[in-house]
Structure 1
Amino acid sequence: MQWTQLYDCYGDVDRVPELLARAGREDEAEVWDELGYRLILEGDMVFPASFAALPCLVSLASRSARARGLAGAIVRCAAGGHGCDDLLAGCAGAIAEFRSLLHRHLRSRPDDYLAPFRDLIAAEGHYHWSAVLGDFSDDFYQVACPHCAVEVTIAIGGYGRYSAIRDWNLGDVDRRDLRPASPEGLSGTGRWMHETAVRDGEVVLADGIAHLFGRAECPRCASVFSIADEYASSHRPLM
């Protein structure tokens, strides 16, 4: 790897390879902390050195939770805006290896299941859902009704599973129960996410995904629409 043009967050071209070499020999928190803030800025900005480091991080990920977490964070930031498309394309093999590793890890049912699950969603190329998916304990999504354009709040969590109009004084008013998708009614990304969660015994997550990829009734005009379609069309980042 030629690092002479592959700068990190600070514009340095030599510090990241030194840190990666150390990370391969030892598992010191200070090394991983410095790699983290050199490769990712403010949680969502990556640099040429980030993608150059990805194959090495993936090679360490089977024995290092820190490497797995940092590799996942880089992959989640891979959707557009970084100017490193050629470097990202060169990481295709490493990302494929990372997907396999994450599947194995998720089958072990880790306590922090959601974080590697979101990493896997990104590694599969579904960057948008990787960014917004929660654990469905207290999740809210804002969508525009495709028929009357009113803003509708979608709640999926401990407060209930409903669509409503949000009033900042009265709270969520005129609630309507969501209509979750049946497993056989799911397709595409929603089906894959649901099947993965079911495979790994993540009942709450699977139920939340069924609701997120189900349908909602608009409290204003009573039309019924796909939650995921409307949310994605309004919030998907530009590529």
Structure 2
Amino acid sequence: MVNWAQMHDCYGDFDRVPELPELLARVEREDDDAEAWDELRYRLILECDLVFPASSAALPRLVRLASRSAPARGLAGAIVRCAAGRHDCDDLPAGCAEAIAELRELLDRHLRSRPDDYLATFRDLIAVEGHYHWGAVLGDFSDDFYQVACPHCAVEVTIAIGGYGCYSAIRDWNLGDVDRHDLRPASPRGSPASVVGSTRPPSVMGKLCSPTESPIFGQAECPRCASVFNIADEYTSSNRPLM
């Protein structure tokens, strides 16, 4: 039995938390209660992707509802995906092992139906599998910058992926990205796509592993020491949460 009086949510106000069971009861009765779902999402996941002890407490009920409710499935997946962020709730998944295992089966079954929300569910499943750092940002690996440490000389290397180019560089805050080197082609082996099996649609697998669509899974040359390293490996090393 959850003692909601010992929980807190985005308001950080213990007096308001008992309202959460009422909201959960409302969506259990009426899955199309948009107002209740909006309030739950706000209370359990703040805009900066923070989660709270109340998020963990709500997870088992959301998972039980997820087999017949798309909003519950999405909210449960988002809670797990955000739980290992850099905040005070990094240990939340440890207390929800049964719910997370059940959620993994639900997400996998949903993915096998080739749904329209494939990428969002795929990210949730990767997070449920324990690859939180990939689940948190996988949808963004198409137009952004990432900082990794060269495994050989430890210099901070900027990895650029997007319309402005796909390259490694040293970032100079006055001159911009200097000493650029084009990223090298990706390989399907070793990408996080392999984490969740090989039964994924070719279109999704192609986007994850294509050197033009997702060069994050290729190789980069260090501008400082000229060594070549696997980008995904170094992104993992730099960003894997401490659990």
Q: What band does the TM-score fall into relative to the shorter chain? A: 0.7 to 0.9
CA shift, 1:181, in A, is 4.5
SS at match of 2:68: coil
Please list the CA deviations of residues 109-168 of structure 1 after superposition, one character each: whole Å capped at 9, or x if unmatched: 334433222211111111122223234331321123233443322123444432233455
TM-score w.r.t. length of structure 1: 0.81
Q: Distance in 2 between matches of 1:84 and 1:204?
A: 30
The match for 1:100 is: 105
CA, structure 1 residues 89+147, in 2 after alignment: closer, same or farther (shift >3 Å)?
closer
Inter-partner Cα distance in structure 2 for 1:5 and 1:83: 18
Shift of residue 18, structure 1, vs aligned partner: 0.9
Which amino acid is the alignment partner of residue 26 of structure 2? R
Cα distance change on mapping 1:137 and 1:227 into 2, 3 Å: closer
- 1:25 maps to which residue? 29
Distance 1:89 1:194 in 2: 24
Amino acid at match of 2:82: C
TM-score of the pair, normalised by structure 2: 0.80
Which of 228, 233, 236 is the aligned partner of 1:229?
233
Stretches of structure 2 lacking an aligned partner (at least 5 in a row): none
For the 8 Å contact 1:109–1:200, the answer to whether it is kept is: no
TM-aligned CA distance change 1:83 to 1:227, over 3 Å: closer
Equivalent positions of 1:41-190 (< 5 A) are 41-79=46-84, 81-82=87-88, 85=91, 88-167=93-172, 171-183=176-188, 185-186=189-190, 189=192
Q: Report the secondary structure of 1:60's partner residue.
A: helix
Structure 1: give runs of 5+ residues left out of the alignment.
none
Tell me how far 1:219 sits from its aligned partner.
2.3
Counterpart of 2:239, as a letter, is H
Report Cα offsets for 1:164-198 as digits up to 9, x if no partner.
33455665444323234433x427x56326846x5
RMSD: 3.0
Cα distance change on mapping 1:47 and 1:186 into 2, 3 Å: closer
- One-letter code aligned to 2:226: A
Match of 2:3 in 1: 3
Are 2:169 and 2:179, in contact at CA under 8 Å, matched by a contact in 1? yes
Shift of 1:31: 0.3
Q: Percent identity?
A: 72
